[in-house]
């Protein structure tokens, strides 16, 4: 096995070895925006200038301190997805955003000039309007604690030697050669690591239960079936640092006495599937996994399986059924998987982020790890920040951070329909996806951790954070998530299968003007029944968005039911097309755009919209610069 962890290796990764290094983000977001073509353009441009170029770590190490050599490397997701493709020039650490193929020539030219920077490709802070030269200068990154995600944005996920260069598989080597299973479990228990997939169950305790089972065959499963709308944390880790996931599985295998593991990945994540498979193949070829782990007499191998495309397969027992070739449907617990899991054998199931955290704990030690986060929720958590917020992307923060810090410091503030910062536009955040709940202004200073969120009826979940502004109809939000969970219900238990369907019908009645007060009463009653009576976690948490919106936005439900009116105009059948007199400036742009002549008025005077003529095409609202038109 190659081991490159030395001073030279560190300097190469950091871009301080004497080689010019160009690092291009090739996470899914950047790839979708053309990062692969940008990478190829850099290679062509550099070669066209007669410069020596290397594209793998071993070759880069051999070229250290040679003049005019350029190391081209790829990284996984660097987090700032909306600004991709991202290109970093090292050692200067200049970070360019939204790079196009046409920008490459100028970037290469500037890279070899003293202090050369392409100013127009630097990120501009929307608040201060200042251009940010490096990643450290950008507020989006300044307030984060990139712990699990750090290497995702620094090393090439397709090059095993880069992972080795930063100490990769050192923790696994320690686990297999220096520690007993009991000591490993004790360390993870003492570290207080809790499952990052939603429930927050103590990881070490789960491992210890599996460890004491008297069975020669045991399994480790990595749950990469990330199905929440708006969640992409596990995808980013698998794409950006797949070897960390494998190393975490190896340590779990050693802790419980397993010799086999499965990575269960969503089929909708082709890049993650490809990279985790390559990582397994490379690790196996290097003797890291396989029949003689790291040269020892112990064995541990990893298989990669694509998911069945069902949200319910993220539930432990349904996931195992899918691996076994059965339909992905949950089973009652107990017995728990750690006692009787895959093919009836003791099985530990952890999500991607949890497993990627394990080697870091082993390397840094329990005490150092517990310095991050809160006493009951140590460490960090990744969140996928999206919605009506200035800075969207993948973030990582210590447990205990507040919602205010995430939305306004990291996220840069709430935006209106046109993407402009609106200091007073915040309405709610949906946390935890379809299994979670809403957080409102009253929760701005609530510390985000497993226990505090559970105390208000919400949950961390896998880490989706969807910010919503005042133009969002919360009844429609509840309906959207109910549509998702109803469609994804496996149908095994009647309460979930029929209960979610009936809840959806009730929500449709509310948004379409057919509801009465008894509809609201029945909706709330039914939500509690589904919550209590469903077999698995999907059904038990399916009513959460409904119950939280009923709790914090009851006035919107009442407006829909009693007044047959959607205050935001989002529910078209209850919208009242109108022009807000206090906002209309009489610019006439809307009347000129209206295809049916429904808008009348004089220049510099408030216009009037004839609701009987309006076809609600939305053209006028899109044209209005003053947000004066609602209900279309």
Q: Tell me: the pLDDT tens digits for 406-431?
A: 999 999 999 988 888 889 999 999 99
Q: Give me the pLDDT at residue 314, please.
A: 86
Helix (H) or strand (E) holding 223: strand 219-224
Cα dist. 590→471, 572, 613 in Å? 20, 19, 14
Look at domain 160-369 and name its CATH class: alpha beta
Say yes or no to pLDDT of 631 above 90. Answer: no
Q: Which residue, 106, 142, 103, 137, is CA-closest to 123?
A: 137
Say yes or no to pLDDT of 360 above 60. Answer: yes
Burial 479-506 (b: 16+ CB within 10 A, else e): bebbebbbebbbebbebbbebbeebbeb
Say yes or no to pLDDT of 4 above 70. Answer: no
Q: Tell me: the pLDDT tens digits for 450-493?
A: 999 888 878 887 788 999 999 999 999 999 999 999 988 888 88
**Range 218-229 average pLDDT:** 90
Q: Is residue 72 within 8 Å of residue 46, measured between CB atoms?
A: yes
Kindly indicate whether the domain formed by 380-472 is annotated with CATH number 3.90.1200.10: no
Q: Is 25 helix (H, G, I), strand (E, B) or coil?
A: strand
Say yes or no to pLDDT of 97 above 80. Answer: yes
Q: Tell me: the pLDDT tens digits for 311-321?
A: 888 889 999 99
Decide which of 308 and 146 is more confident.
Answer: 146
CA angle 118, 124, 126 (to 5 degrees): 170
53 has which bridge partners? 70
**Rounded CA separation 265/315 (Å):** 13
Q: Is residue 425 within 8 Å of residue 388, measured between CB atoms?
A: yes
Q: Tell me: the pLDDT tens digits for 330-347?
A: 998 889 999 999 999 999
**Rounded CA separation 20/35 (Å):** 19
Say yes or no to pLDDT of 206 above 90. Answer: yes
Say yes or no to pLDDT of 2 above 60. Answer: no
Residue 520 φ then ψ, to 5°: -65, -45
pLDDT bracket for residue 65 (50, 70, 90):
low
- Which residues fall within 8 angstroms of residue 201, CB to CB, at 6 or more apart? 194, 195
Q: Give me the pLDDT at residue 66, please.
A: 54
Angle between helical axes of 270-285 and 233-240 (0-180°, round to 10): 40
Which residue is associated with the tokens 């460890």? 211
Q: What share of the chain is helix, strand, coil (3-state, %, to 5)?
A: 45, 15, 40
Q: How many CB atoms lie within 10 A of CB 591?
A: 21
Say yes or no to pLDDT of 615 above 90. Answer: no
pLDDT bracket for residue 501 (50, 70, 90):
very high
Q: Give me the pLDDT at residue 160, please.
A: 94
pLDDT bracket for residue 627 (50, 70, 90):
confident
Which of the residue ranges 72-76, 283-287, 417-421, 607-611 would you say has the lowest mean pLDDT? 417-421
Show me where the domains of the chain are located. 7-135, 160-369, 380-472, 475-562, 576-630
Say yes or no to pLDDT of 256 above 90. Answer: yes
Q: What is the mean pLDDT of the chain?
A: 91
Q: Is 332 helix (H, G, I), strand (E, B) or coil?
A: coil
Q: What is 576-630's CATH topology?
A: Alpha-Beta Plaits (3.30.70)
Q: Tell me: the pLDDT tens digits for 553-602?
A: 999 999 999 988 898 888 888 877 889 898 999 999 999 999 999 999 99
Q: Give me the pLDDT at residue 261, please.
A: 97
Q: Is residue 19 within 8 Å of residue 11, measured between CB atoms?
A: no
Q: What is 475-562's CATH topology?
A: de novo design (two linked rop proteins) (1.20.1440)
Q: Give me the pLDDT at residue 539, please.
A: 87
Q: Is 303 helix (H, G, I), strand (E, B) or coil?
A: strand
Which residue is associated with the tokens 């046409």? 102
Pairing, β 87-90 against β 94-96: antiparallel
124 has which bridge partners? 131
DSSP count for the chain of H helices, then E strands = 26, 20
**Rounded CA separation 517/246 (Å):** 54
CATH number for the domain running over 7-135: 3.40.30.10
pLDDT bracket for residue 509 (50, 70, 90):
very high
Residue 132 φ then ψ, to 5°: -105, 120
């Amino acid at each position: 096995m190659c081991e490159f962890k030395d001073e030279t290796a560190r300097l190469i990764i950091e871009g301080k070895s004497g080689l010019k290094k160009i690092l291009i983000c090739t996470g899914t977001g950047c790839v979708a925006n053309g990062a692969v073509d940008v990478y190829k353009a850099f290679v062509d441009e550099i070669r066209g200038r007669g410069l020596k170029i290397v594209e793998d770590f071993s070759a880069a190490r051999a070229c250290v301190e040679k003049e005019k050599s350029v190391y081209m490397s790829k990284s996984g997701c660097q987090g700032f997805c909306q600004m991709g493709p991202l290109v970093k020039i090292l050692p200067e650490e200049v970070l360019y955003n939204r790079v196009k193929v046409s920008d490459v020539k100028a970037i290469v030219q500037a890279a070899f000039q003293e202090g050369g920077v392409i100013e127009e490709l630097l990120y501009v802070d929307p608040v201060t309007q200042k251009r940010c030269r490096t990643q450290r200068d950008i507020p989006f990154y300044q307030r984060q604690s990139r712990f699990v995600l750090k290497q995702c944005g620094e090393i090439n996920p397709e090059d095993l030697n880069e992972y080795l260069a930063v100490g990769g598989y050192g923790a696994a080597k320690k686990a297999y050669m220096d520690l007993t299973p009991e000591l490993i479990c004790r360390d993870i228990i003492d570290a207080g690591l809790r499952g990052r997939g939603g429930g927050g169950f103590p990881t070490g305790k789960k491992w210890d239960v599996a460890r004491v089972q008297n069975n020669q065959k045991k399994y480790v499963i990595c749950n990469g079936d990330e199905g929440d709308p708006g969640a992409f944390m596990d995808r980013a880790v698998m794409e950006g640092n797949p070897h960390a996931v494998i190393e975490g599985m190896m340590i779990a295998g050693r802790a419980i006495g397993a010799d086999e593991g499965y990575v269960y990945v969503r089929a909708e994540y082709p890049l993650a599937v490809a990279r985790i498979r390559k990582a397994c193949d490379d690790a196996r070829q290097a003797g890291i996994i396989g029949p003689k782990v790291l040269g020892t007499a112990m064995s541990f191998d990893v298989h990669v399986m694509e998911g069945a495309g069902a949200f319910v397969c993220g539930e432990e027992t349904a996931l195992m059924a899918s691996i076994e070739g059965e339909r992905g449907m949950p089973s009652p617990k107990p017995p728990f998987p750690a006692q009787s899991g895959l093919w009836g054998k003791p099985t530990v199931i952890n999500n991607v982020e949890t497993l990627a955290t394990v080697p870091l704990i082993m390397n840094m030690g329990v005490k150092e790890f517990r310095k991050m986060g809160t006493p009951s929720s140590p460490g960090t958590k990744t969140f996928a920040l999206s919605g009506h917020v200035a800075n969207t992307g993948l973030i990582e923060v210590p447990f205990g951070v507040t919602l205010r810090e995430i939305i306004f410091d990291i996220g840069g503030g709430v935006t209106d329909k046109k993407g402009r910062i609106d200091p007073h536009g915040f309405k709610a955040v949906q946390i935890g996806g379809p299994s979670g709940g809403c957080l409102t202004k009253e929760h701005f200073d609530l510390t985000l951790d497993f226990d505090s969120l559970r105390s208000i009826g919400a949950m961390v979940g896998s880490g989706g954070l969807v910010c919503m502004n005042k133009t969002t109809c919360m009844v429609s939000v509840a309906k959207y998530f109910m549509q998702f969970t109803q469609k994804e219900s496996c149908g095994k238990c009647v309460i979930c299968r029929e209960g979610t369907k009936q809840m959806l019908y009730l929500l449709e009645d509310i948004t379409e003007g057919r509801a009465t007060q008894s509809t609201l009463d029945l909706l709330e009653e039914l939500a509690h029944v589904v919550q209590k009576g469903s077999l698995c976690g999907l059904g038990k948490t399916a009513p959460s968005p409904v119950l939280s919106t009923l709790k914090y936005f009851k006035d919107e439900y009442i407006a829909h039911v009693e007044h047959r009116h959607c205050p935001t105009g989002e529910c078209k059948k209850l919208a009242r097309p109108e022009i807000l007199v206090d906002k209309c400036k009489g610019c006439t742009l809307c009347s000129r755009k209206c295809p049916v002549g429904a808008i009348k008025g004089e220049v510099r005077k408030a216009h009037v919209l004839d609701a009987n003529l309006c076809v609600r095409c939305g053209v006028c609202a899109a044209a209005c610069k003053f947000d004066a038109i609602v209900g279309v």
